[in-house]
């Protein structure tokens, strides 16, 4: 029998638990706290930041690049949906996780630091991830599809300061039980150091504590598009496509006669 682990009330609420007065108050409190944290972070002076991470990147002189973010819990199917979106719209797909793992494989000193952070299920410092994204975006006008980012309010603040405001966030909702099952199955063949029970549990806690406040902040802005990703990849994509159909994107596939 597979061992289940209890998650805090907010994650139970986010992943489909029934609302109670206690959980309602908790969610509202966290949402307000997330907004105030980001506002304070924006107002605070930045120290020790690298020039490369904070020099604005623009697609044109007066125009920000078209950037679409994709977030969801570990194992929610972000990569799968991004593959389908790239095929449909010809977008430039950038996975924050893949960029970090590529740096680890390079054997650099920075890669070794990243490897230790990933093993602990924690979030890599914003300057490193934003720097890798910025480098990957160089030389292309997009549109860009970035998945697995921003994973924290600090990530969000650093990216918006360096590159562009977040104007579109696709959020894939999947229950904790389903995500855990998917990750354990993937771990049988992925070779990823974070696809094991111990790290999966740490990643769920990190997702709750650091990533969900990002969604709260962006929902306050009205830029989050939520979809259940419990169904087959094809069914999920049919729903996701509705949100992207409203965006200024040209499908790469020829229309059926």
pLDDT on residue 90: 93
- The two structure tokens encoding residue 162: 């360096």
Per-residue pLDDT tens for 156-211? 999 999 999 999 999 999 998 899 899 988 888 887 877 788 888 888 889 989 99
- Look at residue 64 in the predicted model and tell me its pLDDT: 66
- What homologous superfamily does CATH list for 22-42+66-245? P-loop containing nucleotide triphosphate hydrolases (3.40.50.300)
Alpha-carbon gap, residue 82 to 214, rounded angstroms = 20
Question: For residue 33, is pLDDT > 60?
Answer: no
Token digits for 216? 């709260």
Q: How far apart are alpha carbons 6 and 1 in whole angstroms?
A: 16
Q: Yes or no: say if 58 and 165 are a contact pair by the CB < 8 Å rule.
A: no
Average confidence (pLDDT) over 111-132: 92
Percent of the chain clearing pLDDT 90 (strictly above): 55
- Mean residue pLDDT of the chain comes to 80
Task: Kindly give, in sequence order, each residue whose CB lies less than 8 Å from that of residue 134, ignoring residues fewer than 6 positions away.
Answer: 52, 53, 57, 162, 163
pLDDT, average across residues 112-116: 94
Q: What is the pLDDT of residues 130-143, one digit of tens each?
A: 999 999 999 888 89
> Looking at residue 216, what is its pLDDT?
96
pLDDT at 49 over 60: no
User: Do the Cβ atoms of 7 and 208 come closer than 8 Å?
Assistant: yes
Q: Specify the range with the lowest mean pLDDT, choosing from 43-57, 101-115, 131-145, 151-165.
A: 43-57
Contact 96, 133 (CB under 8 A): yes
Mean pLDDT of 149-155: 95
Q: How far apart are CA 31 and CA 214, in angstroms?
A: 9
Domain boundaries, the chain: 22-42+66-245
Per-residue exposure over 221-230, b if at least 16 CB sit within 10 Å of its own CB, e if not: eeebbebebb
pLDDT band with cut points at 50, 70 and 90 for residue 110: very high
Using the structure block, give the residue that is written with the tokens 């907010």: 10
How far does the chain reach from its first CA to its final CA, in angstroms? 52
The pLDDT, as a whole number, for residue 9 is 42
DSSP, collapsed to helix, strand or coil, labels residue 70 as: strand
Q: pTM for the whole thing? A: 0.72
- Per-residue pLDDT at 257: 44
Q: Report, as an integer, the average pLDDT of 78-82.
A: 95
DSSP state of 67: E
Task: Flag whether pLDDT at 27 surpasses 80.
Answer: no
Band of pLDDT at residue 253, cut at 50, 70 and 90: low
């Amino acid at each position: 029998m597979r061992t289940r682990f209890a998650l805090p009330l907010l994650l139970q609420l986010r992943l489909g638990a029934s609302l109670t007065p206690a959980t309602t108050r908790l969610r509202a409190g966290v949402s307000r706290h997330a907004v105030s944290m980001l506002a304070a972070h924006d107002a605070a002076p930045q120290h020790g930041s690298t020039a490369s991470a904070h020099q604005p990147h623009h697609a044109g002189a007066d125009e920000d690049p078209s950037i679409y973010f994709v977030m969801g819990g570990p194992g929610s199917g972000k990569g799968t949906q991004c593959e389908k979106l790239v095929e449909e719209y010809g977008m430039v797909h950038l996975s924050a996780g893949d960029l970090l793992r590529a740096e680890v494989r390079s054997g650099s000193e920075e890669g070794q630091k990243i490897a230790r952070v990933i093993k602990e299920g924690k979030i890599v410092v914003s300057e490193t991830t934003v720097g890798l994204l910025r480098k990957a975006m160089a030389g292309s006008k997009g549109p860009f599809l970035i998945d697995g980012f921003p994973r924290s309010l600090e990530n969000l603040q650093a990216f918006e300061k360096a590159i562009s405001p977040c104007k579109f966030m696709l959020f894939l909702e999947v229950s904790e039980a389903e995500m855990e099952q998917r990750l354990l199955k993937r771990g049988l063949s992925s070779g990823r150091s974070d696809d094991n029970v111990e790290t999966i549990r740490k990643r769920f806690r990190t997702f709750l504590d650091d990533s969900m406040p990002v969604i709260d902040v962006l929902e306050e802005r009205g830029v989050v598009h939520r979809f259940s990703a419990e169904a087959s990849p094809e069914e999920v994509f049919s729903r996701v496509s509705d949100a992207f159909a409203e965006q200024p994107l040209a499908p790469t596939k020829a229309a059926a006669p």
